[in-house]
Structure 1
Amino acid sequence: MSEVWVALTRAQEGPPMWVVLLSALAALAVVVWSTSWQLSRGLITIAHEGGHALMALLTRRKLQGIRLHSDTSGVTLTRGRPTGPGMILTAAAGYVAPSLLGLGGAWLTSAGYVTVLITIMIGLLLCMLLLIRNLFGVVSLLATGGAIFAFTWYSAPDMDAVLAYLAVWFLLFGGVRPILELRRKRRHGHTPDSDADQLARLTFLPAGFWIFFFLLVAGVALVCGAYLLSPLPLLRLR
């Protein structure tokens, strides 16, 4: 166990500057291009619903299960008081979860703890698998976790850092687009039961405020995460 712990917590040297920049450009391209975004958006949904579920547990709400759908939507079912701080925090956690996960991943990656990050990712997927209540959700989590495990098991050790950088950049960029999509859909009245609308009913603050709040958190996480991941000395003040 001591050897495993040492292997997990051993800091690794970061990849070359061009690898970091290329991974950022690749993640941005996946998020911006509509076709690749539709194929990968489900990964952001996993983080989104995981944020709801984690906050529900932290606020001691009864978590009944999570469903992931083929249209990249999802729902987290909880039981408890229909109002109050617990319900507000649970509803607010979804849209900010991918960005906050990306920020935490950026901190671990920049510090060289790539193995720790990958282990946490697989562990969170396994924990979430216990809460899934539909077949598509089970398949999605098994495919995601299996792909990560297979990549780290069969690829060269240096490739783990590439995977970590790609995943973190994707979470940071991908955390912003769903919020922009939500804002656009609300203008056309297509999302009357969105998280922002639920929060508006739970609080005295309008849905527009909550969308701004989501964007603010995602924007700050993106800037801070980019600062941590930046390989350029001029951007890393000492």
Structure 2
Amino acid sequence: MDFISTLWSRVTLVSAPLTVPMLVGALVAGILLVLLPGAWHTVRHAVTVVHEGGHALVAVVTGRSLTGIRLHSDTSGLTVSRGPKTGPGMVLTLLAGYTAPALAALGASWMLSRGYSAGLLWALLLVLALMLLQIRNFFGLWVILVGAALVVGVTFLAPATWQLVFGHVVTVVLALGALRASLELQTSRRRSRNGQSDADQLARLTHVPGLAWVFVFVLVALVCAIADAWMLVPEGLLTQP
């Protein structure tokens, strides 16, 4: 009982707000990680983890049987579930992928705006632990273990201020990463034309054009990113002299 109380007190610990220079630095770092090509290829794995986690979560919630998750070195991923090949459950499962990182960033922004950086880190650890149980290839296992090691290190070794900085960087990466991945989806659809993207599968199931689903993904990511900025950036910061 004491252990649970101690753990809960750590999870719900409220951190003091970041100073303006540290906040700006964290936000800029997250933005650069998404915009710089080399860095983007690396951090996109984190976006893919959340993307596939979204597929998996909704598949289970809608009653489908989750078979496994694969993560690939080209930053793509695959979540396999068993169940009806048509119907609302399949549509929601496909819809969850590209929207998951944006919605996850929205939840993370809410937590950070209230100082729950420790709670966010523990939430990330829980997600990675659940993903670990479903990973079915070695590269995917490597990605999850490296991510878990990084989050564990920050959770147990970093001061509260740096936990908050890390949380902001991760949140920006997920928010802008969701937007960039959604925008890049249309380019990849034009290049491959294999009809296997989430948008193409949704088009076949709903008879709504794939381009319309890409627009939905982009719109969700954009709205969430605006909400993230509203929560993370203190009022008046951008207008300070």
What TM-score does the superposition give when structure 1 sets the normalisation length?
A: 0.95
Counterpart check, 1:117 vs 2:127: no
Partner of 2:19: 16
Partner of 2:175: 172
Structure 2 residue ranges without an equivalent (≥5): none
Aligned with 1:4 (options 7, 16, 19) = 7
The residue identity in structure 1 corresponding to 2:208 is L
Counterpart check, 1:195 vs 2:198: yes
Contact 2:15 2:161 in 1 (8 A): no
Aligned with 2:99 (options 87, 93, 96) = 96
* Aligned partner of residue 108 in structure 1, secondary structure: helix
CA distance in structure 1 between the partners assigned to 2:170 and 2:106 by the alignment: 11
Counterpart check, 1:126 vs 2:142: no
Q: CA deviation at 1:107?
A: 0.2
Partner of 2:49: 46
Contact 2:98 2:217 in 1 (8 A): yes
Q: Deviations over 1:55-83 (max 9, x none)?
A: 00110101000001111111000000000
* Aligned partner of residue 182 in structure 1, secondary structure: helix
CA distance in structure 2 between the partners assigned to 1:197 and 1:218 by the alignment: 19
Runs of 4+ in structure 1 over 6 Å off: none
Partner of 2:210: 207
* Aligned partner of residue 218 in structure 2, secondary structure: helix
Contact 1:20 1:231 in 2 (8 A): no
The residue identity in structure 1 corresponding to 2:59 is A
Aligned with 1:32 (options 31, 35, 38) = 35
Same amino acid, percent of matched pairs: 40
Q: CA deviation at 1:155?
A: 2.1
Q: CA deviation at 1:30?
A: 1.1
CA distance in structure 2 between the partners assigned to 1:185 and 1:157 by the alignment: 40
What TM-score does the superposition give when structure 2 sets the normalisation length?
A: 0.94
Partner of 1:85: 88
RMSD value, Cα: 1.5
CA distance in structure 2 between the partners assigned to 1:30 and 1:59 by the alignment: 34
Contact 2:15 2:160 in 1 (8 A): no
Q: CA deviation at 1:170?
A: 0.9
Partner of 1:152: 155
Structure 1 residue ranges without an equivalent (≥5): none
The residue identity in structure 1 corresponding to 2:151 is I
Q: CA deviation at 1:165?
A: 0.7
Contact 2:43 2:173 in 1 (8 A): no
Contact 1:17 1:232 in 2 (8 A): no
Partner of 2:109: 106
CA distance in structure 2 between the partners assigned to 1:134 and 1:21 by the alignment: 38
Partner of 1:220: 223
CA distance in structure 1 between the partners assigned to 2:121 and 2:191 by the alignment: 39
CA distance in structure 2 between the partners assigned to 1:157 and 1:24 by the alignment: 17
